[in-house]
Amino acid sequence: MTVHDMAHIELYTGHAPPTIDYFVSGMGFTRVADRVEADRSSILLRQGETRLIVTSGRGIWKFLDRHGDGIADIALTCDDVTETRDAALAAGAESFAPAYGNPVVSGFGSVTHTLVPHPRDPDAWPAGRAWESAPTARNVDTGRVRLLDHVAVCVEGSALKDYAGYYGAAFGMSPYSSEYVAVGDQAMDSIVVRTASGRVTFTLVAPDPTKSPGQLDAFLDRNGGPGVQHLAFLVDEIIPAVREFRDRGVEFLSTPDTYYEMLADRFTGMRERIAELRATQILADRDEWGYLLQLFSRSPYERNTLFFELIQRQGSRGFGSANIRALYEAVERDRLAAG
């Protein structure tokens, strides 16, 4: 296989303290290391197998000016870094200056992919940077988040299939599923691509250009083009995780009571469980392998772009057709309420 895993995600921000506080105080990440350079500073956060790098400073002002706070790089582990870079370039990728000794190629919009060797030590810090251990570092295996389940990427409607083809040719990712959701006079299309390892999953979503503009068009406008719409964090038990994160100040999207009335018809024999889901506003869906539970945060960023998801899988391998519609409707309600 060409690509194995996501080594780390790098988020650029204009205001590091509130961003760090959101992840550490709100979501239970640990600040494990710091790195200061001439034009930027980075902080490494970790929870379970998920590693986030939060970077700020004058060296990233062009990205921030165009996109606001958001994901700038998704680092991928590869069997052969050079071979993967060459495959990406042959598929139409743009090559950038190496990052700390590692090749960097274009992904979507201004988001890049740093290519790093596999295997890697899951406890090692991202290579190439002179990290210093943070004074607050502690055991990072006590949080709710296990790993990064998938990354949702918003692209232009006319380019959806092109991006799916690019990730296949460049990184060996195969189409896993597709979904078309129409809500009123708006609609979205999606293609999920996944590596053979199952460790890298991108959900590519796009507005239907033949329909009226909606929330995905608004995202593309606010974000200055394609970008990461949300990061989905896998948890073992979502109900206590949601309650804990809410108590810590994380805000989630709301779900109408009518959703749970319909859910009781679809999940017969789970009325007690559904009452808990209603109380915590969690979504549920199932496929042929099992069921999944999900909930989505409000965006904590000024441009209302990037947000986050908690997901619990009980055998389910997909994303839930009904939940895709429920997410679209929830984001739309939130967008309209915000004016």
Nearest-angstrom CA–CA distance, 212 and 167: 28
Average predicted confidence (pLDDT) for the chain: 90
pLDDT for residue 37: 92
Judge whether 43 and 63 are in contact, CB under 8 Å.
Answer: no
Nearest-angstrom CA–CA distance, 239 and 110: 35
pLDDT for residue 142: 64
Least confident range of 107-121, 124-138, 193-207, 321-335? 321-335
Judge whether 248 and 260 are in contact, CB under 8 Å.
Answer: no
pLDDT for residue 321: 66
Tokens linked to 181? 């959701």
pLDDT digits (tens, 9 = 90+) for 308-333: 999 999 998 887 666 667 667 777 77
| Cβ atoms within 10 Å, residue 20 | 18
pLDDT for residue 47: 94
Confidence of residue 129 (pLDDT cuts 50, 70, 90): confident
Task: Let me know how many helices (H) and strands (E) the chain has, helices first.
Answer: 9, 17
For residue 1, pLDDT over 60 is answered with no
H or E element that contains 25: none
Helices assigned H by DSSP within the chain: 16-21, 61-67, 81-90, 160-171, 215-223, 238-247, 257-266, 271-280, 321-338
All residues at 6 or more sequence positions from 229 whose CB lies less than 8 Å from its CB, including other chains: 152, 153, 154, 205, 219, 305, 306, 307
pLDDT digits (tens, 9 = 90+) for 46-69: 999 999 999 999 999 999 999 999
For residue 24, pLDDT over 60 is answered with yes
DSSP letter for each residue of 164-191: HHHHHHHH--EEEEEEEEEETTEEEEEE
Judge whether 305 and 222 are in contact, CB under 8 Å.
Answer: yes
Tokens linked to 74? 């998704």
pLDDT digits (tens, 9 = 90+) for 255-304: 888 888 888 777 777 777 888 999 999 998 888 888 899 999 999 999 99
pLDDT for residue 332: 74
| Cβ atoms within 10 Å, residue 122 | 12
Judge whether 154 and 227 are in contact, CB under 8 Å.
Answer: yes
- Angle of CA points 133, 136, 305, to nearest 5°: 95
C-alpha count within 13 angstroms, C-beta hemisphere, residue 112:
18
Nearest-angstrom CA–CA distance, 207 and 220: 10
- Angle of CA points 265, 152, 278, to nearest 5°: 30
Cis bond before residue 256 (omega within 30° of 0): no
pLDDT for residue 263: 83
pLDDT for residue 208: 95
Nearest-angstrom CA–CA distance, 187 and 184: 8
Judge whether 260 and 100 are in contact, CB under 8 Å.
Answer: no
For residue 190, pLDDT over 70 is answered with yes
Confidence of residue 139 (pLDDT cuts 50, 70, 90): low
Residue % of the chain over a pLDDT of 90: 72
Residue in the structure block whose two tokens are 């692209």: 155
For residue 141, pLDDT over 60 is answered with no
Residue % of the chain over a pLDDT of 70: 92
Confidence of residue 136 (pLDDT cuts 50, 70, 90): low
Closest CA to 198 of 230, 227, 172, 161: 172
Tokens linked to 101? 């000794």
Least confident range of 115-119, 207-211, 242-246? 115-119
